């Protein structure tokens, strides 16, 4: 006999409907309106209704039948132990650019898990290739009208997509996009660009094909492939240089102008790395169409610049004395130095030292702050003048925890460097407050 998966409540959000009902961690959700819940798709769809009947089983086995009247689409405020309410689906592809295949050995097991689960696209914004999605999944997304779904396109050339994903079904999977489009499902897309593979004329073709899905396909980001020093036995990919980056930006800007004139949206966006690699100023704020792909590294630099500027305009400045340090990746260091100077023009007695950290763990070609490890920070900041506090972005942390990719904790780094380490949220206001000591 197959044992049915139990949906155990992990947390109740304060002020929520679930709190009013006196639900508690450890309780089990048995059914909603008499229907068993398979996964998070079913749950979110079923709880949208204005009238609900919940069957809850308490830890002692007692069952509660609860009737709820609420506004349509109001959430219940329940967080489950398993975010998917089902098993996680691993990736079936063997992508030539897969970052997980480039990880060094000896890291924690969870970092080696490759997910390609469409449900994580809605929950966490993950990008999926569609190769791991069944016809039933597609039908449920359409029936429940779940949006948006984030899709890793990489190319619209079916044969090339099969090659890049090393999956003979990767080209056929693009047919699912047509179904989402016809059903009015909102989508976002990404293209991981590989030099000599899907750039140039192939990128031009892909953008042209993707525009056919406007307006339901809201945006497409183009980001450069990340290459570590641990690529033994993998497909021989080359890094992009300054000239390459300039060509990519020229192509994207040309399409942005064309599409904005026709559709009122810039649609295709360049990852921040392209601008920094090309030595160009990042695009203006209004070209990001509301920052639809911040988590994909698109517009983060511009948004930070604008947020710090807006916050500084609200302040009069003073003569406070403070000395802090900021450590970041080689990519963002020059930009943060400019922001530091902007802050000092209003707070002349505040000293801000920005340290550019080389990524020895993954390799020098990895220059983003989010992939820095505790050991690289420790080694390169040892015996440096760090001031009253060392500021680090939250992107360096394991989600929800104060731990780096190499399992060093923030507390261990703080003890080693003998300075308080402050983890800063990824927005300009939080950074400014941390620098000034107002947080």
Q: What integer pLDDT is reported at residue 350 of this predicted model?
A: 97
311 and 285 in one domain? no
Do 117 and 248 lie in one domain? The reply is yes
Q: Flag whether 148 is in a domain.
A: yes
| Per-residue confidence (pLDDT) for residue 123, from 0 to 100 | 59
The tokens describing 344, both together, are: 């000092």
55 and 115, same domain (yes or no):
no
Q: Are residues 207 and 141 in the same domain?
A: yes
Same domain, 152 and 280: yes
Q: Are residues 264 and 334 in the same domain?
A: no
Instruction: Please tell me the predicted confidence (pLDDT) of residue 437.
Output: 94
Structurally, the chain folds into a number of domains equal to 3
Helix 300-313 crosses helix 428-436 at what angle (to 10 degrees)?
A: 50
pLDDT computed for residue 377 by the predictor: 98
Q: Check whether residue 294 and residue 430 sit in a common domain.
A: no
> Are 239 and 313 in the same domain?
no
Distance of alpha carbon 356 from alpha carbon 369, whole angstroms: 9
Residue 217 placed within a domain:
yes
> Does one domain contain both 308 and 366?
yes
Which of 238, 268, 298 corresponds to the end of one domain? 298
Q: Where is the domain boundary, 34, 52, 80?
A: 80
Check whether residue 107 and residue 185 sit in a common domain.
yes
Which of 282-292 are b and which e, b meaning 16 or more Cβ less than 10 Å from the residue's Cβ?
bbeeebbbeeb
Q: Which of 273, 298, 323 is the last residue of a domain?
A: 298
Domain annotation covers residue 91:
no
Show pLDDT as tens, one digit a residue, over the chain (439 residues).
344 578 999 999 999 999 999 999 999 999 999 998 888 888 888 898 899 999 999 999 999 999 999 998 889 999 998 877 777 777 888 999 998 899 888 787 777 767 765 666 565 668 889 998 889 889 988 988 888 999 999 999 999 999 999 999 999 999 999 999 999 999 999 999 999 999 999 999 999 999 999 999 999 999 999 999 999 999 999 999 999 999 999 999 999 999 999 999 999 999 999 999 999 999 999 999 999 999 888 999 999 999 999 999 999 999 999 999 999 999 899 999 999 999 999 999 999 999 999 999 999 999 999 999 999 999 999 999 999 999 999 999 987 789 999 999 999 999 999 999 999 998 999 999 999 999 7
pTM of the model as a whole: 0.85
210 belongs to a structural domain: yes
pLDDT of residue 398: 80
**135 to 90, 142, 147, 177, 277: CA distances (angstroms):** 17, 11, 17, 12, 41
CATH number of the CATH domain containing 422: 3.40.50
CATH number reported for the structural domain that contains residue 257 in this entry: 3.80.30.10
Q: Look at residue 30 and tell me if it is in a domain.
A: yes
Q: Give the separation between CA 283 and CA 269, rounded to whole angstroms.
A: 9
CATH of the domain at 66: 2.30.42.10
Q: Are residues 120 and 269 in the same domain?
A: yes
Residue 95, in any domain of the structure: no
Residues 6+ apart with CB under 8 A from 24: 9, 12
Domain membership of residue 219 as a residue range: 100-298
Q: Tell me whether residue 88 is in a domain.
A: no
Both 320 and 424 in a single domain?
yes
Question: Does residue 234 lie in a domain region?
Answer: yes
| pLDDT at res. 307 | 96
Per-residue pLDDT of 368-404, as tens digits, reads 999 999 999 999 999 999 999 999 999 999 877 899 9
CA dist 39 and 42 (Å) reads 6
């Amino acid at each position: 006999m197959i044992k049915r998966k139990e949906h155990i409540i992990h947390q109740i959000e304060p002020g929520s409907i679930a709190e009013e009902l006196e639900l508690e961690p450890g309780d089990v959700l048995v059914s909603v309106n008499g229907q068993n819940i398979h996964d998070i798709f079913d749950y979110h769809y079923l709880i949208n209704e204005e009238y609900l009947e919940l069957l809850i089983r308490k830890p002692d086995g007692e069952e509660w039948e609860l009737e709820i009247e609420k506004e349509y689409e109001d959430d219940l405020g329940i967080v489950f132990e398993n975010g998917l309410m089902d098993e996680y689906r691993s990736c079936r592809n063997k992508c030539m650019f897969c970052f997980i295949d480039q990880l060094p050995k000896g890291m924690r097991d969870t970092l080696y898990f490759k997910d390609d689960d469409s449900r994580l696209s809605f929950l966490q914004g993950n990008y999926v290739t569609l190769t791991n999605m069944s016809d039933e999944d597609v039908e449920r997304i359409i029936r429940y009208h779940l949006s948006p779904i984030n899709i890793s396109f990489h190319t619209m050339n079916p044969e090339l997509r099969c090659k890049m994903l090393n999956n003979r079904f990767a080209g056929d999977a693009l047919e699912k996009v047509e179904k989402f489009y016809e059903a009015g499902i909102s989508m976002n897309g990404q293209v991981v660009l590989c030099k000599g593979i899907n750039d140039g004329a192939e990128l031009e073709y892909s953008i042209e094909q993707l525009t056919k899905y406007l307006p339901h396909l809201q945006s497409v980001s183009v980001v450069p492939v990340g290459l570590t020093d641990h690529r033994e036995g993998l497909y021989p990919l080359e890094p992009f240089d300054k000239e390459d980056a300039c060509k990519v930006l020229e192509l994207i800007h040309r399409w942005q102008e064309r599409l904005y004139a026709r559709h009122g949206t810039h649609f295709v966006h360049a990852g921040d790395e392209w601008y920094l690699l090309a030595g160009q100023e990042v695009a203006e704020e209004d070209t990001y169409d509301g920052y639809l792909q911040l988590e994909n590294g698109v517009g983060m630099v511009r948004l930070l610049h604008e947020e710090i500027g807006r916050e500084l305009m609200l302040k009069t400045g003073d003569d406070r004395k403070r000395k802090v340090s900021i450590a970041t990746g080689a990519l963002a260091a020059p930009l943060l130095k400019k922001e530091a100077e902007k802050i000092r023009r209003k707070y002349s007695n505040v000293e801000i030292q920005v340290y550019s950290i080389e990524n020895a763990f993954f390799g020098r070609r990895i220059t983003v702050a989010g992939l820095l490890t505790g050991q690289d920070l420790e080694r390169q900041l040892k015996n440096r003048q760090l001031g009253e506090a060392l500021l680090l972005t939250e992107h360096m942390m394991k989600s929800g925890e104060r731990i780096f990719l190499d399992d060093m904790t923030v507390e261990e780094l703080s003890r080693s460097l003998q300075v308080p380490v402050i983890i800063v949220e990824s927005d300009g206001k939080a950074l400014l407050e941390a620098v000034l000591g107002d947080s």
